[in-house]
């Protein structure tokens, strides 16, 4: 049985838009490339045709993967998010106790992670260390550069 993927409504919409773009724009474009290459004659020695077939195969694989992700996706009800402990979709303000810097991250599904926007995947080491913790608690997060002690300052939506 396939694993359920939890996404926000916005995240699911983006996945559906990407899938629609691949189906309605990319797929017809590759079909045209194949038709043009086919018109050039002998397919056994036609590198353009072989390249177009390869691109088509990769596109179809991407479409199939996205269809699977959309089918397994379940929207997270943001109205039922608890802020007493750290969980998915929470914004967590933390203080690095080694250098006293304060950071704020939102814990999101992997498909929506974007570090530049302060959105980290719930499967990341930092998020895993914070999950289930309360305001005021200190956690030690193991990262590639060592262990970082973090204090949870606030939890919000």
**DSSP per residue over 73-86, as a string?**
EEE--GGG---SS-
What's residue 99's pLDDT? 92
What's residue 2's pLDDT? 62
Q: Which helix (H) or strand (E) holds 6?
A: strand 5-7
Ordered by where they begin, the domains of the chain are: 5-75 (1.10.287.180), 78-156 (3.10.50.30)
Segments of the chain scoring below 70 in pLDDT? 1-2, 42-44
Could you give the CA distance from residue 41 to residue 36 in angstroms, rounded to a whole number? 10
What's residue 43's pLDDT? 66
What's residue 25's pLDDT? 94
Place of tokens 């990341």: 124
């Amino acid at each position: 049985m396939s694993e359920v993927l939890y996404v926000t409504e916005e995240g699911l919409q983006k996945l559906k838009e990407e899938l629609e773009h691949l189906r309605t724009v990319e797929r017809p474009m590759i079909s045209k490339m194949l038709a043009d290459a086919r018109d050039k004659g002998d397919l056994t020695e036609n590198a353009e045709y072989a390249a177009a077939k390869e691109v088509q195969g990769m596109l179809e694989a991407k479409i199939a993967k996205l269809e699977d992700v959309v089918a397994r996706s379940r929207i997270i009800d943001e109205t039922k998010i608890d802020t007493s402990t750290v969980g998915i979709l929470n914004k967590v303000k933390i203080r690095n106790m080694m250098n006293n810097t304060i950071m704020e991250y939102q814990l999101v599904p992997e498909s929506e992670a974007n570090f530049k926007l302060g959105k980290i995947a719930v499967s990341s080491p930092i998020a895993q260390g914070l999950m289930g913790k309360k305001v005021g608690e200190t956690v030690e997060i193991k990262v590639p550069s060592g262990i970082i002690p973090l204090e949870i300052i606030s939890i919000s939506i």
